[in-house]
Amino acid sequence: MTPVSQVVEYLKHENRVYLTHINTPKEVVIAGDPQACRRMIDTLKCDAFRAPADDVLHCDAMASEYHELARLTSLPICSQPDTIFYSAADYKPITLESHAIGHAIAKGLCQPLDFPRLINQVYDNGAKIFVEVGAGSTCSRWIRENLKDKEHVTVSLNKRGSNDHTSIVKALAKLVSHQVSLDLSPLYTQEPENAGQRRSMVKTITLGGSRIKSTILSNTNQEIAETLSSNVLIHKTWEQPQTLPNFEPSEPVTSSNFQSTVLNHENSAKCALNYSLTSTEKLDCGHPNKMPLDNNSCSLELAKKNHNFVPGITLIGLQKNQYQKLSYNTSRITKNHAAFLRNQQESLKQIGNIIQHQVTFSKQLLDSES
């Protein structure tokens, strides 16, 4: 951000820095050796921002690739539009011919781009309205700074902070306000030409006449509907509720007989498992305390020992080691539950002691105050 004249004067003493773009009279772009560019910025004491791209363009270093650039950009032309195209190669309209366009592009890439010169030339040739189709409306800002108080209008189709649809509608409104002839018909819904030839799906029904059924359905359809309605059958399936076996409640476990109960549980479980491994007796499906199941299922039996009911599990079709693992896991669960109850009992005792200490302390405190 410094006057162009100061940059041009400094470049006379620096051969490794190039002036690539002149955007406005006080905004330029330089390229070259990073240390030389930093030295130039520090000398001129100007604001500077690093460009996001490192392309070597618009400088004398590109001169060696001029012919290759011209060859790459010399493409066939399909049509000749009426639009006048300007080029920064000679800052004037170019001829719409393949080789002329290629050489103009190559020349523009091998020399600095003087944007103020290009805009002023277009303005002097009669252009007063400038429409920017690029992103960010950066060129619109440059045009306003270059033309300053000259009568002109800049219209940007893409602005920061606004979506494209809103920007386009605002741009069209701005152009219309400056009496630019535009075709805005694409913005409105167009009715198809054969809209009036569509077959109407509305059926007129007069109230108070015959029933709507006879009006809509033909005689044939009525017969089909009546036949179908007479053949409809409603089936209801009732399922007998299953009766669960009645189990007598076991004796509640107390702290006095808990240890013996745990031992009885372990012995009963082992007996039930051993019985299931050796017994070949068939299940009696009519027994009220047994539920017949498939070969791969389980049957729950109740074994009574020492006035305590212990569930015995009969598993058919499994390996012996699986029964042993099941017995081991059942034993561990029982032991862990017993340990849990003992810990709970100990915790209750500790809570009782704490309450007793609090009562004693409160009594002593009251006695001392009295």
Mean pLDDT in runs of 10 for the chain (370 residues)? 86 88 92 90 88 84 91 89 91 92 93 94 94 88 92 90 87 92 82 61 72 66 71 45 45 47 47 43 42 41 42 52 83 91 91 87 77
Give yes or no: residues 171 and 262 share one domain: no
Bridge partners (DSSP) listed for residue 29: 21
pLDDT of residue 286: 42
**161 in a structural domain:** yes
Three-class DSSP category at 116? helix
Q: How far apart are the first and last CA of the chain?
A: 90
pLDDT of residue 364: 79
**4 in a structural domain:** no
DSSP code per residue over 259-274 = HHHHHHHHHHHHHHHH
What string of H, E and C letters represents the secondary structure of 140-193?
Answer: HHHHHHHHCCCCCEEEECCCCCCCHHHHHHHHHHHHHHCCCCCCCHHHCCCCCC
**90 in a structural domain:** no
**222 in a structural domain:** no
Bridge partners (DSSP) listed for residue 18: 31
**Token digits for 26?**
């006080």
Q: Where in the sequence is the domain holding 177, given as residue range(s)?
A: 128-182
**278 in a structural domain:** yes
**25 in a structural domain:** no
pLDDT of residue 305: 41
Number of C-alpha atoms within 13 angstroms, CB side, residue 332? 6
Bridge partners (DSSP) listed for residue 300: 313
Number of domains composing the chain: 2
pLDDT of residue 292: 42
CA distance 147 to 181: 24
CA distance 28 to 49: 11
Domain finish residue from 141, 157, 182: 182
pLDDT of residue 268: 47
**78 in a structural domain:** no
Domain finish residue from 182, 204, 225: 182
Three-class DSSP category at 88? coil
CA distance 249 to 245: 12
Domain finish residue from 182, 199, 224: 182
pLDDT of residue 290: 41
pLDDT of residue 130: 94
**335 in a structural domain:** yes
Residue with tokens 């399922």: 239
